Structure 1
Amino acid sequence: MEEARFKFEKLIIWQKAMDFGEDIYKITLRFPKDELYNLSSQIRRASDSIALNIAEGSIGQSNLEVKKFTGYSIRSLAEVITCLHKAKRRNYISHNEFNVLYDFSFNLMNMMIAFKSKVK
């Protein structure tokens, strides 16, 4: 990555959320075409929203804004996790792919919760 000029670019949770969004995008390319405007779109928007809200909150004028937008990120991640369950149930992703993404989600969720709790 190039030199970070914005505060949020230095945040590990933002970096991991960016990577996660790309991983989700790649798996959705294999989803059936009839899911393009349904599950594919939903999980892509939710996964992108994680990093977007972290960035938006980090430039807020108060810690209250940081907490609020981190909360939005956490909610978006919960949405992604639900979409992953749907994708697994519909056999769009393998059990192993689900487990890898689920474990990553769990770790990212814990990091975001810890980050939010440290904001005073």
Structure 2
Amino acid sequence: MHRYKDFKFWKVSRSFCRDIYLLTSKFPEDEKYGLVSQLRRASVSIPSNIAEGCSRTSNKDFSRFLVIALGSCYEVETQLLLSYDLGFISSNDLEEHTETLISIVKMMSKFNSKLV
């Protein structure tokens, strides 16, 4: 088993999740059950799957949860692009959050490649 709190990619993804909550708090009220809900759910999924994977006894199981977390990263990226297209976020917000996602993806992918 691994200690998820020691992983930089878990720490960054946890902070990223908080940032998504703050960002989506400014979305239109009628998006509460649309993009707001989707972005929040997917961003929570990233650190949650990392943590859950750490509880697994095999590296193969842990790797599977990291792949799920990576999928959530790409889901969030798509939802951020849609949010930008709809005028809910600025190009600066899109760029900043996309850069963070890319950083998380790179760290997780590198770690995962050494895991299995």
Same fold at TM > 0.5: yes
1:31 is aligned to 2:27: yes
Give the whole-Å Cα distance in 2 for the aligned partners of 1:101 and 1:58.
25
Q: Identity, % of aligned pairs?
A: 36
How does the TM-score come out when normalised to structure 1? 0.93
Distance of 2:111 and 2:80 partners within structure 1:
24
What residue is the counterpart of 1:65 in the other structure?
A: 61
Kindly state the Cα deviation for residue 57 of structure 1 after the two structures are TM-superposed.
Answer: 0.3
1:116 to 92, 99, 112: 112
Q: Say whether 1:79 aligns with 2:75.
A: yes
Unaligned runs of 5+ in 2: none
d(CA) in 2 for partners of 1:35, 1:27: 13
Coordinate RMSD, CA, aligned = 0.9
Hey, what's the Cα distance between the residues in 1 that align with 2:51 and 2:111?
13
- 1:17 is matched with which residue: 3, 13, 21? 13
Unaligned runs of 5+ in 1: 1-5
The count of aligned residue pairs is 115
After the TM superposition, list the runs of 4 or more consecutive aligned residues in structure 1 that deviate by more than 3 angstroms. none
